[in-house]
Amino acid sequence: MEHLTFTNKNGDFTIDHPENINSLYFPLASEVGLKSAISPNLGGDAKIDQESFLIEPVSIDNLHNNRSTRNFWIKNQFGQVASLTGASARQEAQKFSDEQEESRISAGFMWQKLERQLKKPQLTATLTSFIPHNENVEIMQIDIINKSEVEQTLTPYAAIPIFGRSADNIRDHRNVTSMLHRIKTNQFGVEVCPTMSFDERGHRLNNKIYYVFGFDDKEKGPQTFYPTVESFIGEAGNFTHPAAVFKDSTGFDSQTSIDGREAMGAFRFDSFTLDVGQSKSFIILMGIEEEEKAIHNMAKKYSKLSQVRSSLVETQNYWLDKVSVGFHTKDINFDNYMKWVCFQPYLRRIFGCSFLPHHDYGRGGRGWRDLWQDCLSLLLMEPKAVRSMIINNYKGVRLDGTNATIIGQGEGEFLADRNGISRVWMDHALWPLITTKLYIDQTGDIDILTKEVSYFKDSHIKRGTAIDNLWTETYGNEQRTATNDLYTGSILEHLLIQHLTAFYEVGQHNVYRLRGADWNDALDMADENGESVAFTTAYSGNLMELASLVRLLESRTNIKSIEILEEIGLLLKSDSDIYDKINRKHHILDAYTNQCQHNTNGHKIKLSLSEIALNLIQKATWLRQHLQQNEWLDVNEAEGWYNSYYDNSGKATDGYYNGQIHMMLTGQVFTIMNYVATDEQIRKMTASADHYLYRPEIGGYRLNTDFKEIKSDLGRMFGFAYGEKENGAVFSHMTVMYANALYRRGFAKEGWKALKSLADTALKFETSRIYPGIPEYFRSDGRGVYHYLTGAASWYMLTMVTEVFGLQGKSGDLVLYPKLLAEQFDEKGIASITAPFDSKAFHITYENRKHKDFGDYVITEANCDGRNLDITDDAFVLISKTQLDQLGDAEHRITIVLN
């Protein structure tokens, strides 16, 4: 059985015989564009974006086919041939026999090392793969040691298939697009520069050059080249049994040009002789550049082994430094696991939601909610960099409270949907406030609310229900006034519009309409009558939070009133009689959206901040009561939970139907998180979740029970097999938000149970079959799938830092309020966290010598760098912003004694 072992405290790990698990893949990427997925035998792909794939795109379902494997072959004087990656027909066949070679993978952030003990020829081969953090080149370093008892003369071949075009051409005009290839060899390798980017909507001339270069340890290039697939595999061969290697077929020289064929970065180096125990190394570079000069610079730099080695170390350190959060608990495996969880948000920033083998959808973009949630973790690790990101992201909000859904490459770049399909996700307006609130808490920068930014404009108006026929591309994507000036408003104004418009868009139960879907993308078939109770509760919490931010703005600054767009006055009606009247709500919303269809007149009115805050609180309170009174399902003395949704037929999702218990986790998460559920109700909800949803062996809390029904009146999720994706899988993101909600309400034991079962299941490599980290979900057999690119990582990290270890910002002050359980402290009663706050590094140690549980201990002593801190309350320690400002740049050590 293959085991995963951590080898240090940085998350580095090893696994023996990793090639026995077909679904393993590992991400490698630079900060400047190149992204690779690499499997244990170096399969996978490499690309800059959807249009520019260096290696043929692979999905999880063909990751094992070895067609696109980066390969390195070796042949000795006795005619013995082997693939150093194990991807030869013979070695593959031996996988199921005693003949299987020993192999081991080691990996850390953005590097992977494969070590293989070859039997024929007898060699040890090590292949190290990485992408320098600041460069678009994937480097493979190959080290070979002669392990036989005799001298060996060896002939090496590198073989990397070059796809060199858009992922769209994997099926669409695959063969035709090979005709665009212009292939050249030179003294170091193969370059492919297709003449065009093939796209029937409009072909474009291409200037990207895809290349594979190779060097031996004396910086010498190859001797013979096989620049096409045909010349490499031959008429009868294939990628795991190529003619070039097995039949010594003749290659081409270093001055060859071939047009219009499938390309191959394959070449043979000079033969060499190794004495017993002697070694030799090679370097392979694979990349994409716009100019030949850049390739030659790259070749010059990385043809030297010393440079490759130092670049690897630099890259390793770069990513280790980025992950500036670390944990020490009783369980060192968990601490190492957390390193990967904290690293994952970077992967999502780079890879988007596409570009790893499970993520074979989308074209590299990220969604609106992902954009905001990914900021959460960055805020904890690099708060300074996030300010401009937040400000710019508000430019995606439309005047009707909805937002752009196509997100461009640059910060604050939002694009109109060319296909004119409008889809409104009802949860979208929630996330900006959640992120902005965390930002203000972490930094105290309440002024950000007054920052003026533009609004997004395209043809969609009236919250996606109508088209503005006056809008054209020349108008641009920024909202204008009647006088054709750019219209801007404060971030607070953006937030008010988002939250106030949502308040009026209700369905027949006076709950916010589901529209195209909410967080659960797969609830996409109830546009007309669907309602999301779960996210209405989230909005009620947001209205309260927004009110408190408005108050904070008032108390922290001299600002007593703000100017906002006149029309918003319509939405600020404080006559609470309206709230019960669905029709009147619709009229109000209509009146508002009618007034900002094309251009706005841009008139502003002045409103006092206290008046606004009061108005928001009134709405939030009404919502809370409405939900409490109408959506609670009291089952018996011990169990009960909140309804989560109404389907398109107007029926509640949760309850007892056709002999089945229907329970959805989402409705519980947000009612708990936003104080709709009372403490007494939480006890019943957790008991019910444990009863109906908890399956520890597959990661913990399922997203829902089995409805045993294809509910075409709610969403595609009911078409998925039960236990897959949004249909009842243990969906990490929602489980983590469940944990977060429980911690916020002081239910630490219950919260930890949810977090821990996810970590335990992920680390149980025998069933999870993933490298360390949090996958999007666990299947019914405990396998982790859609690994790495999930918003769950941000939330897991956020919960560990701000709740479990209790490192919370409170409008710029630092509060330390641990909710650690006895089992999380090591034998000496210590648990600690390293994390930045206010741009300073902190190492915070909690001492719990008596091994008490959360709830039983109080804080009796606290000091920072040896100086005592005031304990204002025995549950937490507060270090004010003023005190923080006085601290120097070096790491600060805080010790807190729990008794």
- Which positions lie near ligand G1P, rule CB under 6 A? 353, 367, 369-370, 519-522, 726, 733, 776, 790-792
Closest separation between CB of residue 703 and ligand G1P, Å?
9
Any idea which residue has 């370093």 for tokens? 141
CA atoms of 57 and 422, how far apart (whole Å): 29
Residue (56 or 521) nearer to ligand G1P, CB: 521
Q: How far is the CB of 350 from ligand G1P (least distance, A)?
A: 15
Residue closer to ligand G1P (CB basis): 349 or 369:
369
Task: In whole angstroms, give the CA distance from residue 678 to residue 684.
Answer: 10
* Distance in angstroms (rounded) separating the CA atoms of residues 745 and 170: 50
What gap in Å lies between CA 627 and CA 870, rounded to an integer?
41
CB-nearer residue toward ligand G1P: 530 or 818: 530
Least separation in angstroms between CB 434 and ligand G1P? 13
Instruction: Give the Cα separation of 809 and 439 in Å (integer).
Output: 9
Rounded to the nearest whole angstrom, what is the least distance from the CB of residue 653 to ligand G1P in the complex? 16
Distance CA 789, CA 733 (A): 11
Taking the complex as a whole, the smallest distance from the CB of residue 444 to ligand G1P amounts, in Å, to 29
State both tokens at 700: 């913990």
Q: Tell me whether residue 229 is exposed, middle or buried, using C-beta atoms within 10 angstroms of its C-beta: 0 to 12, 13 to 18, 19 or more.
A: buried
Q: How far is the CB of 508 from ligand G1P (least distance, A)?
A: 25
Alpha-carbon gap, residue 705 to 728, rounded angstroms: 6
Cβ distance to ligand G1P smaller for residue 520 or 811: 520
223: DSSP letter: S
Which amino acid, one-letter code, is at 234? Answer: G
Minimum distance, C-beta of residue 778 to ligand G1P, in the bound complex (Å): 12
Nearest distance in Å: CB 768, ligand G1P: 16
The Cα-based distances of 531 to 463, 523, 582 in angstroms read 16, 10, 13
Q: Report the nearest approach of ligand G1P to the CB of residue 343 (Å).
A: 16
Torsion of CA 80, 84, 85, 86, to 10 degrees: 30
Report how far residue 215's alpha carbon sits from residue 227's, in angstroms, rounded to the nearest whole number: 16
Nearer Cβ to ligand G1P, position 390 or 774? 774
Q: State the Cα–Cα distance between residues 313 and 315, nearest whole angstrom.
A: 5
Q: Which contacts (CB < 8 Å, 24+ apart) does range 16-19 have?
A: 16/102, 16/103, 16/104, 17/100, 17/102, 17/103, 17/104, 18/103, 18/104, 18/105, 18/114, 19/86, 19/95, 19/103
Q: For residues 794 and 373, what is the distance between their CA atoms, to the nearest angstrom?
A: 7
If DSSP codes are grouped into helix, strand and coil, which group holds residue 727? Answer: strand
Distances (CA, A) of 82 to 137, 155, 347, 698: 26, 11, 34, 39
Cα dihedral across residues 88, 89, 92, 94: positive or negative: negative
**DSSP string spanning 97-165?**
STTPPEEEEEEETTEEEEEEEETTTTEEEEEEEE--TTSSEEEEEEEEEE-SSS-EEEEEEEEEEE--B
Cβ 47 to ligand G1P shortest distance, Å: 20
Name the token pair of 678: 């009372």
Q: Which is nearer to ligand G1P, 480 or 733 (CB)?
A: 733
Q: ∠ CA(738), CA(365), CA(419), 5° rounding?
A: 115
Nearest to 444 by CA among 490, 492, 393, 387: 387
In total, the chain counts a number of residues equal to: 899
**Of residues 335 and 726, the one with the C-beta less far from ligand G1P:** 726
Task: Supply the minimum distance, in Å, between the C-beta of residue 258 and ligand G1P.
Answer: 42
Nearer to ligand G1P, 103 or 520 (CB): 520
| Nearer CB in complex with ligand G1P: 518/847 | 518
Strand blocks (E) in 712-758: 730-731
Q: How far is the CB of 542 from ligand G1P (least distance, A)?
A: 17
Tokens of 527: 């546009």
Q: Please, what is the minimum distance in Å from the beta carbon of residue 797 to ligand G1P?
A: 13
Shortest distance in whole angstroms from residue 646 CB to ligand G1P: 19
CB of 518 to ligand G1P, least distance (A): 8
Do the beta carbons of residue 878 and residue 864 sit within 8 Å?
A: no
282 vs 519, beta carbon nearer ligand G1P? 519
Question: In the complex, what is the shortest distance from the CB of residue 877 to ligand G1P, in angstroms, rounded to a whole number?
Answer: 34
Q: Which is nearer to ligand G1P, 454 or 761 (CB)?
A: 761
Start-to-end Cα distance in the chain? 44
CA-CA distance, 270 to 247, in Å (whole number)? Answer: 17
DSSP states along 839-885? TEEEEEEEE-TT-PPTTT--EEEEEETTEE---SBTTBEEE-HHHHH
By C-beta, is 520 or 540 nearer to ligand G1P?
520
Nearer to ligand G1P, 280 or 513 (CB): 513
Which lies closer to ligand G1P via its Cβ, residue 369 or residue 585?
A: 369
Q: Residue 791 CB, nearest distance to ligand G1P (Å)?
A: 3
Closest distance of CB 536 from ligand G1P, Å? 17
Residue nearer to ligand G1P on the CB measure, 11 or 367: 367
Nearer to ligand G1P, 353 or 814 (CB): 353
Question: Buried b / exposed e across 21-44, counting CB within 10 Å, b at 16+?
Answer: bbbbbbbbbbbebbbbbbbbbbbb
In the complex with ligand G1P, which residue's Cβ is closer, 232 or 519?
A: 519
How far is residue 534's CA from residue 589's CA, in Å, rounded to a whole number? Answer: 22
**DSSP line for 637-687:** SS-EEE--EE-TTS-BSSEEETTEEE-BSHHHHHHHHTT-S-HHHHHHHHH
Q: Residue 358 or 585: which CB sits closer to ligand G1P?
A: 358
